[in-house]
Amino acid sequence: MIFRLSDFQFPDSAARLYPATQGHPWVLEVGFGDGRFWPHFARTFAAPPNYLGVEISGVSLLKAHRRLQGAGLDNAVLTKLPADVLVREVVPHGALDLIVVNFPDPWPKAGHTEHRLLRAPFFQLAASRLKPGGALLLTTDHDEYFEFACAEAEASGVMAVDTAQAPPPAALETKYALKWRDLGLGVNHARFTPTAHPPVPHGAVAAYPADLAPLPESAVPHAVLTLPKTFDPTHFEKQTVRAGRATVVLLDLYASLRRDGWVALAHVVEGELTQEVLVGVTAREDGSHLVRLAKFGGPIITPGVKAAVGAVTDWLEGQGAVIRHRGY
Ligand SMILES: C[S@@+](CC[C@H](N)C(=O)[O-])C[C@H]1O[C@@H](n2cnc3c(N)ncnc32)[C@H](O)[C@@H]1O
């Protein structure tokens, strides 16, 4: 099943995601590509573990989804998100039996190492979400990234590093494993085992009530205001607002063709979580205007998203609007 971020709870639970296979081990695969690992690996268990797969490529998501459906692997949840967002926001503490990372993007150029996934903060996050006895498995052709990841795991202070074991055979059947094998390259494998389970907190979404769906209309961030007769939307300029951990960039303001309002496009960054949201400004029958988060795109209502509604409201106030009500 494919999940969008807004389909999850924050944090979610294996019992909710896999009601028919509760109690099975829970495996997360990061960067599953075209999804070849899981059908091979799942076959090595008497009953397939519950599977959570995260990818940032939409094309890969669809390919892998087709493959897992074809293999009859029903207890699988696939999602298109950056891995650190999924792990931080969705995965509960001490919940996973295994995290698998096969052939991660190596970011080989000097100065690009900050793009690598397997850095100390990710190992701390992973350790916090793994069960006691759980492990993170890395298989890669890339010698330099392998050494980098092992050093980062040591530096995290919460992972023991074991490089003596062979990779699971399924990790040698992925698209990239076959590609590098054809080129005659070898593989490196490490098993990272938590030595501590640091309480790395859930992020921006968890600051909002745990069960987000569906929100009553009154809880959708909004404001009611009266615009001055002189209001001129062409005065809008791109602006950046900081609110707590969030940065909100109001990018643009678009007029509705019905000529009764506008829509502001906002970029909201909270830690690793980034959302593009629309905030509508719509005329009401009594002459006032309603400023409200649009449901388009299924935004997750975080403190930063509320701040985006606040930023639009504040800008309108700066243009002479009289605020009647703030509901955010
Ligand atoms: C080199 S490919 C390996 C794919 C697959 N594991 C294999 O072995 O064939 C790396 C994959 O990781 C995905 N990826 C990169 N960064 C990611 C991130 N932050 N979160 C989730 N997936 C990511 C990429 O889209 C790509 O599909």
- Give tens-digit pLDDT for 124-153: 999 999 999 999 999 999 999 999 999 999
Transcribe 32-65 into DSSP letters.
Answer: -TTS-HHHHHHTTSSSPPEEEEEES-HHHHHHHH
The answer to whether 88 touches 198, Cβ cutoff 8 Å, is no
Q: Residue 11: which pLDDT band, with cuts at 50, 70 and 90? A: very high
* Structure-token pair, residue 123: 């190992």
Any bridge partners for residue 205, and if so which? none
Between CA 252 and CA 279 the distance in angstroms is 11
Catalytic residue among 105, 143, 252, 260: 105
Q: What is the pLDDT of residues 162-196, one digit of tens each?
A: 999 999 999 999 999 999 888 888 899 999 999 99
pLDDT computed for residue 217 by the predictor? 61
Q: For ligand 1, is residue 327 a contact (CB within 6 Å)?
A: no
> 54 alpha carbon to ligand 1 midpoint, in Å?
9
Q: How far is it, in rounded angstroms, from Cα 87 to Cα 74?
A: 21
The answer to whether residue 6 scores a pLDDT higher than 90 is no
Dist CA 226 CA 248 (whole Å)? 24
Residue among 62, 103, 185, 274 whose CB has most ligand 1 atoms within 8 A, to mutate: 103
Tokens (6 digits) for 192 = 């990272």
Whether ligand 1 lies within 6 angstroms of the CB of 307 is answered as no
2-194 domain in CATH 1.10.260.40? no
Average pLDDT, the chain: 93
What's the pLDDT score for residue 207?
55
**pLDDT of residue 20 exceeding 90:** yes
Tell me the three state secondary structure of residue 242: strand
Q: What whole-number distance in Å separates Cα of residue 312 and Cα of residue 305?
A: 11
Residues of the chain with CATH 3.40.50.150: 2-194
Mean pLDDT throughout 205-230? 72
pLDDT digits (tens, 9 = 90+) for 52-81: 999 999 999 999 999 999 999 999 999 999
Residues 245-303: pLDDT tens digits? 899 999 999 998 877 799 999 999 998 889 999 999 999 999 999 999 998 888 888 88
Task: Return the half-sphere exposure (C-beta side, CA atoms, 13 A cut-off) of residue 212.
Answer: 21
Residue 216 — pLDDT band, cuts 50, 70, 90? low
So what's the pLDDT on residue 212?
47
How far is ligand 1, taken at its centre, from the CA of residue 56, in Å?
7
In the chain, what percentage of residues exceed pLDDT 90? 82
Mutate-to-test residue for ligand 1 from 59, 100, 105, highest number of ligand atoms within 8 A of CB: 105
Check pocket membership of 60 for ligand 1, CB cut-off 6 A.
yes
Residues paired with 261 in a beta bridge: 282
